[in-house]
Amino acid sequence: MQQMTDMKKEQAMTPILRQAFRPMFLFGAVFSIIAMALWGLALAGVIRLNPYANIMFWHQHEMLFGFVAAIIVGFLLTAVQNWTGRRATHGKTLLVLSLVWLAGRLLMLFGGGLPAWLVVAVDLLFLPLAAVLFARIVVMAGNNRNLFFVPVLVLLTLANVVMHAGVQLGQFAWIQYGSHSAVLVITLIMAIVSGRVLPMFTANGTQTPKVAPLLWLDRTALGSLWLLVVLHLFLLTGYLPGWFMAALFGLSAVATAWRLLRVKFWITGRVPLLWSLHAAVAFIPLGLALFALRYAGFAISQSAAVHSLTAGAMGVMILSMMARVSLGHTGRMLKPKTIMSVAFVLIIGAALIRVLAGWAIPGATMGWYLYATAGWVIAYSLYVIVYTPILVKPREDGRPG
């Protein structure tokens, strides 16, 4: 591995700009707290917001392209250094990237009276800029295996473009298409990444033998998810019978659930960074199963199925992975403070409430949605309180990053 940095320059650099996970995790978590708090207050009728487009679009868009996108970029621009041995985005370049992200969030929130082209242009800049920075490192290192993530960022950018086009042209169906495309692409990535790391994390964390993968099961789980993504992206789902889509979603749900069960979640009870991650992955087959039931004709709302993948899988997985990566990449032991177990329980509970409340207790749906919002805000606030000192200070072992 080549010498990646000059130690004098490293020590002179503001710690939060030494690795992409530092500002992206911290700013993303803080933003999610603000965004969810504002959403909850707006739902309760306490405040009125005038964001770009409307409040519903703002919530839907910003949780994906504001919050989740920040965490994805922070993870990728950190992991690429381990994958390639080359110094990843840092310093002034990372500062510019962070400011572009921040400008997008401010314009989306306060841009109700601004020219639409300005809001859209700034918001669309973040992911392509991150893709260029990521691709440059991978290409220079000849690490073509991980170029796979570049088209993923491009697909997410196109989904964002479609959502904005839907606003400007008054096409609600386009907004939903762009949003659901992003959700399915991110779900596929979560399934791929969790399938790779969860067996290793579980084995290392519990000091047990690593569960060997079943090739046919992995191919079934990921292949069915790939097919669902392709059918959706090419607008083919409307041409297929409901029973076929129900069967495909059902197959994907069973395969992803089976793959998760083989990793033995029941041995992770004493390791918060493991049981929280297992719980996050469990929301993927739950969401797929809800889609299957919906296509089969059951009274399952699309919102419940989507929120299993967003509030559930994404919300829980992000909190769990941020807690882990923030420790590991700052030279600390993978043992979070006890209070983080409370945060994990709160975010899991918030996701379950959001997914199940409308079906289980329809007469009090709005109240339970507000409970779910409060659970999210408290859970991510605990992360910010515990991890801000870690993210803004140098590594404990004195190494760069």
Instruction: Name, in order, each residue with C-beta under 8 angstroms of 134's C-beta and a sequence gap of 6 or more.
Output: 76, 77, 80, 149, 150, 153
Residue 398 has pLDDT above 90, yes or no: no
CB of 24 closer than 8 Å to CB of 70 = yes
SS (H, E, C) 242-255: HHHHHHHHHHHHHH
- Give CA angle at 306 (277, 346), nearest 5°: 40
**Average pLDDT of the residues in 223-234:** 97
Per-residue pLDDT, 3: 44
Predicted pLDDT of residue 363 = 65
Does the pLDDT at position 339 exceed 80? yes
Alpha-carbon distance of 397 to 10, in angstroms, equals: 14
pLDDT of the residue at 366:
83
pLDDT score for 2:
41
Task: Give the pLDDT of residue 342.
Answer: 98
For the stretch 113-159, pLDDT in tens is 899 999 999 999 999 999 999 999 999 988 888 898 999 999 999 99
| Residue the block writes with tokens 């997410």 | 156
How high is the mean pLDDT of the chain? 94
Q: How confident is the model at residue 362 (pLDDT cuts 50, 70, 90)?
A: low
Q: Which tokens sit at 302?
A: 């699309």
pLDDT at 397 over 90: no
H or E, element range at 119: helix 116-141
Q: Could you give the CA distance from residue 149 to residue 69 in angstroms, rounded to a whole number?
A: 13
Q: Residue 7 — very low, low, confident or very high, per pLDDT cuts 50/70/90?
A: low
pLDDT digits (tens, 9 = 90+) for 67-111: 999 999 999 999 999 899 898 999 999 999 999 999 999 999 999
Mean pLDDT score, 176-205: 96
pLDDT score for 12: 75
pLDDT of residue 89: 93
SS3 track for 297-318:
CCCCCHHHHHHHHHHHHHHHHH
- Please give the pLDDT value at position 399: 78
50-55: Cβ within 8 A, 24+ apart: 50/110, 50/112, 50/113, 51/108, 51/109, 51/110, 51/111, 51/112, 52/107, 52/108, 52/109, 52/111, 52/112, 52/114, 52/116, 52/119, 52/167, 53/167
Residue 5 banded pLDDT, cuts 50, 70, 90: low
- pLDDT tens column, 302-324: 999 999 999 999 999 999 999 99
Model confidence pLDDT, tens digit, residues 273-302: 999 999 999 999 999 999 999 999 998 999
Cα-Cα-Cα-Cα torsion 251, 256, 257, 262, nearest 10 degrees, comes to 130
pLDDT grade, residue 219 (50/70/90)?
very high
What's the pLDDT score for residue 338? Answer: 96
Taking residues 239-262, report their average pLDDT: 97
Report the percent of the chain where pLDDT is more than 90: 87
Smallest Cα–Cα separation from 224: which of 284, 179, 178?
Answer: 284
Q: What is the pLDDT of residue 360?
A: 64
